[in-house]
């Protein structure tokens, strides 16, 4: 993917809906894309959290042992929890089909949240939604 492709993928994502084109481009420049084959564990339950991931294409499953907690696809993200609380990863996240993710390092993620606190509010809403879903 070119930088322009990544920027346009990020621009289509609700989390970045309030961002200008210039801001989106800065985010795109601060991260990296990774491709995963189906079956790859992207994030491992209990490991140290080192990054934030957004699904550009493909599909992942969030799993706790045998339980599937969520299925995430384009525009949805994972890995924010460990970066927020500094605790180990709370679940496994696996690619269930060929998947491409955009990733930000912990440092870039923290700087982005400080510069754009509205992202923290959007993530809080998402976490609340995931908590509610987990309770039903």
Question: Does 28 interact with ligand CMP (rule: CB under 6 A)?
Answer: no
Q: Are 128 and 88 a contacting pair, CB within 8 Å?
A: no
> Which strand (E) or helix (H) includes residue 89?
none
State yes or no: residue 89 binds ligand CMP (CB under 6 A): yes
Is 81 among the residues that bind ligand CMP (CB under 6 A)?
Answer: yes
Q: Is 94 in the site for ligand CMP (CB under 6 A)?
A: no
Q: Is the dihedral of CA 15, 24, 20, 120 positive or negative?
A: positive
Instruction: Answer whether 104's CB lies under 8 Å from 31's CB.
Output: yes
Per-residue 3-state assignment (H helix, E strand, C coil) for 70-81: EEECCCCEECHH
**Residue with smaller CB distance to ligand CMP, 28 or 101:** 101
In the shown chain, the binding pattern of residues 31 to 70 toward ligand CMP, with x for contact by CB under 6 A and - for none, equals ------------x-----x------------x------xx
Q: For ligand CMP, which residue of 60, 79, 94, 102 counts as binding (CB under 6 A)?
A: 79
Helix crossing, 106-115 with 21-30: angle to 10°? Answer: 160
Q: Which of 9, 10, 58, 90 binds ligand CMP (CB under 6 A)?
A: 90
Q: Which two tokens stand for residue 59?
A: 């599909």
**Least gap, CB of 31 to ligand CMP (angstroms):** 16
Alpha-carbon gap, residue 96 to 87, rounded angstroms = 25
Q: Is 116 in the site for ligand CMP (CB under 6 A)?
A: no
Interface residues with ligand CMP (CB under 6 A) are 43, 49, 62, 69-70, 78-82, 89-91, 93, 130, 134
């Amino acid at each position: 993917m070119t930088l322009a492709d990544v920027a346009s993928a990020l621009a289509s994502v609700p989390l970045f809906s309030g961002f200008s084109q210039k801001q989106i481009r800065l985010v795109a420049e601060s991260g990296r894309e990774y491709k995963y084959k189906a079956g790859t564990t992207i994030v491992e339950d209990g490991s140290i959290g080192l990054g934030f991931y957004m699904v550009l294409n493909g599909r992942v499953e969030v799993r706790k042992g045998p339980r599937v907690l969520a299925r995430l696809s384009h525009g949805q993200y994972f890995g924010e929890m460990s970066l927020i609380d500094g605790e180990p990863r709370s679940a496994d996240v696996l690619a269930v089909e060929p998947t491409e993710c955009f990733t930000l390092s912990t440092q870039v993620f923290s700087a982005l949240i400080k510069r754009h606190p509205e992202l923290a509010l959007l993530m809080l809403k998402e976490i609340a939604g995931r908590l509610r879903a987990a309770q039903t």
